[in-house]
Homo-oligomer: A and B are copies of this chain.
Amino acid sequence: MNIIGLISFAVVGSFKALREGLDLFGITVLGIMTALGGGITRDLLVNHIPNALKSFTDFSFALFGVWLAVVFYRIFKRDISNRFFILIPDAIGLSAFTTTGALIAHDAGVSFFGIVILATLTGIGGGMISDILLGKIPNVLKDDFYASCAIIGAVGFYVTVSSGFGINTASVVCASLVLMIRIMAILYNWKLPRFS
């Protein structure tokens, strides 16, 4: 699930860069940061050297996603980042990343809010960073029902652990909640309220 997430996040990020006309370095940075940025930020916050800098594989999967996006774009000249066959692996990635974030936050001994923030940030941080790099308001802040899925999953993780279950059970609860709610949000086009 993590690998699917890395690749699909990198594909989505690379397409963002392609849409904006960035050069090859920009496309690579956007793709990689979308895939790895959430985890890197989370590792910084819990005072670890980011795993993405130590592991060879995470980075390779992200680069593979960048390559996939560029090749696809050159052949078909078409942006597919909003299509169903990207949204589903993206939802799997959100689910995997949120769960990893909740586990690492739990190990770091942070508060309830700390777990929710770190889990959500692991899931959505990469996309936010790539939007900021493009000088845009991060899309998760204004639209869609995306971060909310991660928040609900993280709360589920916390409640399960607090109820005396092990972290394996809590991880399954978190991952399932995020994935199911995200897929429902896609199918039914859920939105959060705005006030203006």
Residue pair A49, B49 in contact (C-beta under 8 Å): no
CA distance A138 to B129 in the complex (A): 12
Task: Name which residue of chain B comes closest to A24, CB basis.
Answer: B192
A1 at the interface (CB under 8 A from B): no
Given the contacts A111-B55, A134-B137, A194 and B40 also touching, CB distance less than 8 Å:
no
A21 touches B141 (CB 8 A): no
Q: Within the complex, which residue of B60, B109, B142 is in contact with A22, where a contact is CB–CB below 8 Å?
A: B142
Interface segment out of the listed A92-100, A112-120, A164-172, A175-183: A112-120
Residue ranges of A at the interface with B (Cβ–Cβ < 8 Å): 17-27, 29-30, 40, 44-50, 52-56, 59-60, 70, 73-74, 105, 108-114, 117-118, 128, 132-138, 140-143, 147-148, 151, 191-196
